[in-house]
């Protein structure tokens, strides 16, 4: 069965993570995605290892595991866009495409006549999505922007990590363990693209989308932004605690850590019962969430003292029996061995010519009817170059050989 975006053609000229993440999502939904890469080198993340994909003999291939997280289902086509012939290939593909995604520096593609202004002349219906660190306007527009920098500049690191008064060695600002600003930007991009596609049905015209990592990071500060803009409170680092809900954090037990996520007063009463501390539920310092937030340290100290009496497994079982939201802190291997994750089909294997097959994370989107059942592994560099030039652009084998001899493809 075809995915809901079947029939759409996406020209993905992005690399690393934010743009490729958007392109991968559109591919998961059934779109035909052509990924443009540099001849001989490809996407930067092909070399971001170890670890690397291993072949059938257990030897490293040239493709890092990182590349496989954001490029499934795409056709890899190598084109040198610095050459006139390469630019012409992109123009011909753009003429046939519904969407182009790129994350070059501001004005970078204009040098080659591949900017929105140029391409919209030959394809007025083209939706052109540019992803940069700081957007196309403003004093930072020409600065390079990477996820780590944006997590710091965009406020995320100021609320991630142990408090300043912590005695722990890990005290201080901390980045999130995955590049969430890039990932959020990819998600915003795919949403913006699909909205533009719907709008095009009425106007008959494409349009330009300007997405900035810093804008996205500011937008995804969510409740922390509102705490400042509405409440006048500059949020601080609270470790694993929540700024607006107590108790809602990680707690240590006698042999590890667990998460307790109490979201309302009824759940707090049940937590007190599980801890065999029913009197806490009637203590006016803890009667409401607001009171618990104001008396955070005292309450959490009491909970810590109780949890230290038993191990994590015992507490999780007891808390679940009392219907208190709780859970373990799994390592990555435990995540992909979790029966719920496996039952939801979040791990799948796809054929891969060098290794035989490769395991990947599946898309979390589940439709009742529209589903693309044939998701392919990321391709080797340039694997679809000949096929795309032949089938899409009707290049002859002699023309393709000539382009390859001159390293244009």
- Provide the 10 A C-beta neighbour count for residue 135: 18
Helix intervals (H) in 74-136: 84-96, 116-122
Of 119, 130, 129, 86, which Cα lies nearest the Cα of 382?
Answer: 86
What's the order of all strands across the beta sheet hosting 248-252?
Answer: 248-252, 257-261, 326-328
The rounded distance, in Å, linking the Cα atoms of 237 and 30 is: 41
The rounded distance, in Å, linking the Cα atoms of 336 and 330 is: 10
Inter-residue long-range contacts of 295-298, CB under 8 Å, 24+ positions, other chains counted: 296/241, 296/246
φ and ψ at 10, to 5 degrees?
A: -115, 125
Q: What are the distances in angstroms from CA 50 to CA 60, 66, 311?
A: 9, 9, 36
**Catalytic site residue 98?**
no
Q: Which helix (H) or strand (E) holds 260?
A: strand 257-261
Of 12, 115, 147, 182, catalytic = 182
Is the separation of the CB atoms in 181 and 151 below 8 Å?
A: yes
Partnered with residue 257 across adjacent β-strands are 252
Residues with a catalytic annotation lie at 182
């Amino acid at each position: 069965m075809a995915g809901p975006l079947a029939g759409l053609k996406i020209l993905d000229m992005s690399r690393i993570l934010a743009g490729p993440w958007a392109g991968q999502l559109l591919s998961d939904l059934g779109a035909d995605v052509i990924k443009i890469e540099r001849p001989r080198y490809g996407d930067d993340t092909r070399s971001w290892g170890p670890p690397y994909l291993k072949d059938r003999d257990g030897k490293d291939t040239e493709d890092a595991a990182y590349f496989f997280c954001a490029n499934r289902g795409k056709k890899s086509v190598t084109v040198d866009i610095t050459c006139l012939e390469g630019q012409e290939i992109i123009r011909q593909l753009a003429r046939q495409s519904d969407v182009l995604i790129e994350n070059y520096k501001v004005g970078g593609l204009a040098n080659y006549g591949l900017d929105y202004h140029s391409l919209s002349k030959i394809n007025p219906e083209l939706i052109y999505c540019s992803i940069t660190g700081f957007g196309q306007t403003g004093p930072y527009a020409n600065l390079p922007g990477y996820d780590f920098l944006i997590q710091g500049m965009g406020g995320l690191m100021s609320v991630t990590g142990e408090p300043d008064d912590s005695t722990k060695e890990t005290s201080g600002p901390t980045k999130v363990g995955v590049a969430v600003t890039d990932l959020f930007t990819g998600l915003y991009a795919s949403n913006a693209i699909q909205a533009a596609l719907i709008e095009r049905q009425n106007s008959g015209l494409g349009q330009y989308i300007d997405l900035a990592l810093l804008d996205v990071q500011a937008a995804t500060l969510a409740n922390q932004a509102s705490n400042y803009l509405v409440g006048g409170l500059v949020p601080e680092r609270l470790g694993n605690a929540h700024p607006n809900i107590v108790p809602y954090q990680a707690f240590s037990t006698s042999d590890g850590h667990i998460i307790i996520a109490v979201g309302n007063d009824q759940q707090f009463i049940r937590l007190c019962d599980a801890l065999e501390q029913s009197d806490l539920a009637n203590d006016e310092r803890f009667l409401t969430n607001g009171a618990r937030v104001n008396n955070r340290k005292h309450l959490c100290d009491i909970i810590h003292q109780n949890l230290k009496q038993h191990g994590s497994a015992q507490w999780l079982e007891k808390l679940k029996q009392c219907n208190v939201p709780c859970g373990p802190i799994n390592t990555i291997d435990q995540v992909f061995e979790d029966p719920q994750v496996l039952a939801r089909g979040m791990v799948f294997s796809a054929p891969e010519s060098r290794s035989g097959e490769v395991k990947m994370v599946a898309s979390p989107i589940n439709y009742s009817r529209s589903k693309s059942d044939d998701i392919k592994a990321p391709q080797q560099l340039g694997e679809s170059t000949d096929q795309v030039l032949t089938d899409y652009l009707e290049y002859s084998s002699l023309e393709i050989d000539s382009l390859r001899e001159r390293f244009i493809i």
